[in-house]
Structure 1
Amino acid sequence: MAPQSTLFELYAADGVKLSGQAWLPPAPRAVVAVVHGIAEHAGRYAFLADRANQCGLGVVSADLRGHGRSPGERSYVERFDDYLLDVDALMAKARELAAGRPLFLMGHSMGGAIALRWLAQRKQPVAGLILSSAALKIGGDVPRLLVALAPLLSRWLPHLRGTRLDPATISRDPAAVAAYVNDPLVSLLAPPARTGAELLQAMEANRAAAAGLALPVYLFHGDADRLTDPDGSRDIHERWGGSDKTLRLWPGSRHETFNDLDREGVVAELLGWILARCA
């Protein structure tokens, strides 16, 4: 049974209305704010929220602009920093819900790049950063020519969409892939050229910023991920400025370790890491 959640609305500083969702146990020990990946939405973290709630942890997320229930062209962003405005609104809500308890920031895939960029730019304190299959290096299934042409396409054809990615790259579990494909809030369109180019620039900025960040960090990645390269997580782990850093690679898992065959172990290890830092 899915955990009970509360829907709410947020407004980014530029006026964009965002749809948010929270799963909270009574008096949570800590709260995890989740920044979802490209083309998906907050509701896809109900499984994580269920296991977190059982441990006394709360989870809160919001649909980024152009995603899920939030308005905007699907998966399109004019400037990567616009996503940071969405995270500003999410984190303000998360701090309110945490009510002085520890607050962790988690980002999956493109959301990992957003979360890392937000920390580097905003320099706001959090109890720890969690990066799930983060977009820190482009994976093998992303066409090299598209990557090379990204700056030109972004400038002249920003809304152009290339080849759709194969949904089977998210998980070895056919049921999880089917749920993704049949989810009406998931966009199956290829990402726009502007979004892709902005993400590539953010990856470079994040590599440069990692050495200046010293908060606790937990990186996990499927070693068979073809969408975001696990070497990106290895690189950020090596560059990280603090000593409390953990890298966990899951053998055989694809892009969404939360929805792959080892999901229970993935979540259990993550929640154990969080709980150890709530004392």
Structure 2
Amino acid sequence: MTVSTIEGSHGTVAVHDWPVADPSWIAILVHGYGEHLGRYPHVAARLNAAGATVSGPDHEGHGQSAGERVLIEDFETVVDDLDAVVSRAVTANPDLPVIMIGHSLGGMIASRYAQRHHDRLLALVLSGPVLGSWQATALADLDEIPDDPLDTSTLSRDDAVGAAYAADPLVWHGPFKRPMLRSIARTLETINHGGDLGDLPTLWVHGEADTLVPIGPSRAGIERIRGTDLTEIIYPEARHEVFNETNQDAVLDDVIDFIRVKLA
């Protein structure tokens, strides 16, 4: 992996790259709230093995990118920055198809990207996406937002995943910020009324036991934007981070199988 920077909408954006020799497609990874793309090397390795050159940004205010921590007031500019990363990857690898893979809040960002830039993608993969509505945004209406630490056991049945998350200095471990919550709520409404994905092949994977981003609201959001080519896989007993779950190999197999079909 290499990390470089580009100039984003509000300062420098760190871009992670996992290149391969003679790639046959481009994978763009889109991470979730409070985390960073440095948590995804095992995902990138599986995509590399399937022939992809892999890239993705740390969003504004996340990971190694500039900005106040976990404060995004306009996700449209985050989509702009993501498009700059796509353009950079396409310039380096002309004529290769692009597949975007978004997890959690990254699923929201990737969905908005697909609404705005449908023609740039061959397919879209959404993992535990924040879509439809998200219960956390209601915290913005409280007089004081509680500083409750994340229960890391909600991430995965693998305790090591939670322990690594808790020890990661680039992960945000503080409270939600009111402007961020309100920006998420606005973006969800924008997506809900932003039109469907047409014929864009879309894979939705979700843990059945996900309490951070429950299936119900995500399903309602998927139904608002789904196009004509949607594949859904729900994993029994799996929690929020299905790419870090005890059955992660099977999940990544499913993702790669879906991608291979679309590449063919």
Same fold, TM exceeding 0.5? yes
Secondary structure in structure 2 of the residue aligned to 1:211: coil
Distance 1:49 1:111 in 2: 16
Percent identity over paired residues: 32
Query: Contact conserved, 2:131 with 2:222, CA < 8 A, in 1?
Result: no
Distance 1:36 1:63 in 2: 7
Query: Contact conserved, 2:133 with 2:218, CA < 8 A, in 1?
Result: no
Structure 1 residue 261 corresponds to structure 2 residue 242: no
Alpha-carbon deviations, 1:219-250, whole Å to 9, x = none? 11101111112123423443445322101111
RMSD: 2.2
Secondary structure in structure 2 of the residue aligned to 1:112: helix
Structure 1 residue 202 corresponds to structure 2 residue 178: no
What residue in structure 2 maps to residue 101 of structure 1? Answer: 96
Structure 1 residue 116 corresponds to structure 2 residue 111: yes
Structure 1 residue 8 corresponds to structure 2 residue 14: no
Query: Contact conserved, 1:234 with 1:247, CA < 8 A, in 2?
Result: no
Structure 1 length as normaliser, TM-score? Answer: 0.87
Q: 1:40–1:169: structure 2 CA closer, same or farther, 3 Å change rule?
A: same
Secondary structure in structure 1 of the residue aligned to 2:181: helix
Secondary structure in structure 2 of the residue aligned to 1:48: helix
**Within 5 Å, which residues of 2 pair with 1:26-45?**
26-45=21-40
Correspondent of 2:176 among 178, 181, 191: 191
Q: What are the ranges of 5 or more consecutive residues in structure 2 without an aligned counterpart? A: none
Paired positions, count: 264
Distance 1:267 1:206 in 2: 27
Correspondent of 1:79 among 57, 74, 80: 74
Query: Contact conserved, 1:139 with 1:225, CA < 8 A, in 2?
Result: no
Distance 2:85 2:48 in 1: 19
Question: Match of 1:42, as an amino acid?
Answer: L
Off by >6 Å, runs of 4+ in structure 1: none
Distance 1:277 1:98 in 2: 19
Structure 2 length as normaliser, TM-score? Answer: 0.91
Query: Contact conserved, 1:138 with 1:227, CA < 8 A, in 2?
Result: no
Correspondent of 2:123 among 119, 128, 133: 128
Q: What are the ranges of 5 or more consecutive residues in structure 1 without an aligned counterpart? A: none
Distance 2:190 2:91 in 1: 30
**Within 5 Å, which residues of 2 pair with 1:106-255?**
106-138=101-133, 142=136, 147=138, 150=140, 162-255=147-240
Shift of 1:79: 1.8
Q: 1:225–1:97: structure 2 CA closer, same or farther, 3 Å change rule?
A: farther
